[in-house]
Amino acid sequence: FFREFRNDREKRDFVSVGVAAGVAAAFGSPMGGVLFAIIEGDSFRDMALICRMLFSAIIASFTLNATLAYYFNQDGLLSWNGLTNFGILAHKEYTIWEIPLFLIIGVIGGCTGALFNALSYRISEFRKKFLSSKWQRLTEAFLVAAVSAFVGFLTLFVLDDCVPLGVGSNNTEGINRLYCGKGEYSAIANLLFDHPEASVKSLFHSPLGTYKSSTLLIFSIEYFLLSLWTFGLSVPTGVFIPSLLTGAAWGRLFGLGVKFLFPEMTSIDPGKYALMGATAQLGGVVRLTISLTAILLEATRDMTYRVPIMLVLLMAKWVGDLLSDGLYDVCIELADVPLLGWNAPVMSRNIFASKVMRSDVLVVEKRVRVGRVIELLAETFHHAFPVVDHVEGGIGIDESGLPDYGRLEGYILRNYLVALLKKRAFRHDEDEGPEVVMTEQDFDIEDEEVSVGEDDESAWMDLSPYMHSHPHRVPLNASLQFIFRLFRVLGLRYLMVVNEDNRLRGIITRKDVARFKDTKGFALKDRFITEHQY
């Protein structure tokens, strides 16, 4: 029943659909989830996939609302706001004079986000080199927990941040008094002990005077460093809420500074600047614009600040892109995944296919012995093999010093070769009997275990009916810019390189193209991938 889904395209589509559903359920944002999946979750999209994403996001939101209604004994109520809801801001005004201040917040968010990504890259490299065993990773997790607890309690002990009850909170339940006197509570303790989502909401909605400037400064620095160390641990952690909380803290501090400098301006509200700081911090880290705008607008259930949010995200992205790559690009880089960016590297038009390709190609002929096929499958993990005509006297060398593999006839997939061996689609001589008939289901293999005797290794296999006879190919003088566009638009895994006589000279894989990339600022260095699989 699930045979139709067991292919690479369906697997990629399921990942994109899952991304849309997860974001829709987490933030109560179906449209934000769809936009996030379109921008970050897939590379090759079509209308069918977008409809799948939208359908999954709607079903995820409906299922979550139905579950919450059952959990809270509110049968039939489906107007829940998702698992993460920041509430509607009470102050719904902003003036044109505040636009430059919002842009400054965007610049700060871009710088702090780039710093976060740069330090995260260095820490992740350290983990890959020196924390490889399970016990080392477990020890690091315990160490992070211990340091977080120590720093938190030290902050509570040293920082005097007692606020009268009724300032910032009228509900006495869940209030942390700690060392404060009667009728007072500790604001910093509420930030540290409460759930991060609740702390973000408190920074958005608490009135002026709830948090001191020193509290916000110390908390934002501590939370920035602890979330930086926590990201990448061998435990399920995220970056959305920690970045929002860090940005909300320094954004509210920025608002207090603006209020101090312009006390006569009545439109200044610290919660509004906390929202802009959270937006700038998260935008500077992940470099999202359209999807993050939709997520924040749906999470706050308010369209008042849609223009400032867009401006802050654009400014944070522009500044951050000047300094480093986004966090997701950093993670992809660390995992050595050959994911291509949106644009070709600078000066790529001056780099030609002869410099990009690899010339040590493993080829097969249209009529090949079974032993040769078994040898290729056992020694490599290549996804496909070029098919050439018969080469007299083996592989030659042309006048430019490149190997001459013969005239390119096509290519054949690895699973096709395995399926042909499993069905024994080979002959010892021409008069052995009728050819084996292969169906589409025969090429859907579960494993690569084949049983072939020694006598069968000398048999001949005809690949002509099963090979792809029109592979994508480029000449030796094709530019990297053109090659990059082919891989990016068509979603290719490999590209054949031929001369003017259609004789195979090399092959270009996605990893060969991915190793050419631009470096940005201090965050990433140029990495060349030496392991090639096609």
Q: Starting from the edge strand earliest in sequence, which strands make up the sheet with 408-413, in order?
A: 364-365, 384-388, 408-413
Please report the pLDDT score of residue 511 as a whole number.
87
Average pLDDT across the chain, whole number: 83
Confidence at residue 160, expressed as pLDDT on a 0 to 100 scale: 77
| The pLDDT of residue 528 | 37
pLDDT band (50, 70, 90) for residue 173:
low
Residue 526's pLDDT is 38
Does the pLDDT of residue 525 top 60, yes or no? no
375 — pLDDT class (breaks 50, 70, 90): confident
| Contacts for 252 with CB less than 8 Å, ≥ 6 apart | 203, 211, 216, 270, 271, 273, 274, 277
Whether residue 90 is predicted with pLDDT greater than 70 in this model: the reply is yes
In the prediction, which pLDDT does 474 show? 94
Amino acid identity of residue 263, one-letter, is: P
Q: How confident is the model at residue 29 (pLDDT cuts 50, 70, 90)?
A: confident
Predicted confidence at residue 247, as pLDDT, reads 95
Contacts 24+ apart (CB under 8 A), 307-310: 308/94, 308/98, 308/99, 308/102, 308/276, 309/275, 309/276, 309/279
Nearest to 61 by CA among 76, 42, 77, 81: 81
Percent of the chain with pLDDT over 90: 29
**Buried (b) or exposed (e) across 82-107, using 16+ Cβ within 10 A?**
bebbbbebeeeebeeebeebbbbbbb
pLDDT band at 534 (very low <50, low <70, confident <90, very high): very low
Residue with tokens 């909300």: 248
Residue 205 confidence (pLDDT): 87
**pLDDT range class, residue 277, cuts 50, 70, 90:** very high
Pair of tokens at residue 415 = 């699973």
Strand order, beta sheet including 494-498: 473-475, 494-498, 504-509
| Residue position matching structure tokens 């090399």 | 506
User: What is the average per-residue pLDDT within 501-517?
Assistant: 88
Angle among Cα 502, 504, 506 to the nearest 5 degrees reads 135
* Greater model confidence, 134 or 4: 134
Q: What is the pLDDT of residues 35-49, one digit of tens each?
A: 988 887 666 667 888
Task: Assign 282 a pLDDT band (cuts: 50, 70, 90).
Answer: very high
Residue 92, pLDDT score: 75
Alpha-carbon gap, residue 185 to 188, rounded angstroms: 9
Assign 207 a pLDDT band (cuts: 50, 70, 90): confident
Residue 350 pLDDT greater than 60, yes or no: yes
Summarize pLDDT for 311-349 with one digit per residue, the tens.
Answer: 999 999 999 999 988 898 888 888 888 778 778 888 888
How confident is the model over 47-67, as pLDDT tens digits? 888 899 999 999 998 998 888
User: Please, which pLDDT band fits residue 245 given cuts at 50, 70 and 90?
Assistant: very high
How far, in Å, CA of 138 to CA of 141, rounded? 5
Q: How confident is the model at residue 302 (pLDDT cuts 50, 70, 90)?
A: confident
More confident residue, 203 or 534: 203
What's the whole-number mean pLDDT along residues 254-277?
Answer: 87
